[in-house]
Amino acid sequence: MEIPFVKLQGNGNDFVLIDEIAGSVIPDDMKGEFAKLYCDRRFGIGADGILFISKPQDSSKADIRMRLFQPDASEAEMCGNGIRCLAKYAYDCDRIKHSARIETMAGILEVECGYNDSEEFSATIEMGKVIYDRKDIPATGSGDYEENIGGYTVNAANTGVPHAVIFIEDLEGLDICAEAPQIRHHRSFPKGTNVNFAKVTGKDEITIRTFERGVEGETYSCGTGSTASAAIAFKTGRTGNVVHVNTKGGPLTIKIEDGRAKMTGPATTVFSGSIRM
């Protein structure tokens, strides 16, 4: 049995995509273990997650469906870089046009995508309402989230998945894998959280580093983390409502308007192949 796959990346956040439009390729009860095996960078293909593209549950509401399984075998509600990669694959295969609706566990998200004059692919994702209320992040307590954890002032928001955001001055000298776990596993986050350390680096510009839940390490970029960091930067008066976010893997632009966020960024196909099982 051979399973075709495509490897894609969005700002260095990389994914293996399995096409299930024609029907299930990996049984649902095996998807988590499949991700754990093939995300491994020494014994598998290597990726931050496995994307599955399939028909939507309701074709009147969405054009395609995205599911994402992570290296720890968990399923994530959404992924900003992942959805751009999925959109690129779907666009290149003529599954979608310039405008599309993609079904995720975090809801149906609208996408505008295509190539510019330089043949570079870009997608703008309607990320939906930024959620600050603790019960919907989810986090314990009520109202907006602000806590002191390990000497850091931590804010939080849900941009499809929960994100903690901490603004610091020494971003380059940060040992993120030593500092982030105390926040990622803090008791105030019943389902855990992703952790973003951010620094204001210019007018309406921030630079971030992200420790991702499920990956359990730093990734080159995180779309939902960039969105959450930009939203909190705007909410706390550090920037305007259009924020340029620098990640290790490249830039993203986040626009906050009427409490909702849009993310614009690239996606690239790396290679395709097949898994022989």
From 39, 85, 113, 222, active-site residue: 222
User: Which CATH number applies to 131-258?
Assistant: 3.10.310.10
Q: How far is CA 12 from the centre of its chain?
A: 12
Q: How far apart are CA 151 and CA 139, in angstroms?
A: 19
Domain boundaries, the chain: 2-128+265-276, 131-258
The answer to whether the CB of 80 falls within 8 A of the CB of 160 is yes
pLDDT tens, 221-243?
Answer: 999 999 999 999 999 999 999 99
For residue 277, the model assigns a pLDDT of: 79
Q: Do 2-128+265-276 and 131-258 agree at the fold level?
A: yes
Look up the pTM and report it: 0.91
User: Which CATH number applies to 2-128+265-276?
Assistant: 3.10.310.10
For residue 226, the model assigns a pLDDT of: 97
pLDDT tens, 136-165?
Answer: 999 999 999 999 999 999 999 999 999 999
Beta partners for residue 276, in sequence order: 2
For residue 183, the model assigns a pLDDT of: 98
For residue 96, the model assigns a pLDDT of: 96
**What residues of the chain score a pLDDT lower than 50?**
none
Catalytic residue at 79? yes
Q: How far apart are CA 226 and CA 232, in angstroms?
A: 10
For residue 49, the model assigns a pLDDT of: 97
From 79, 85, 93, 113, active-site residue: 79
For residue 1, the model assigns a pLDDT of: 84
Catalytic residue at 222? yes
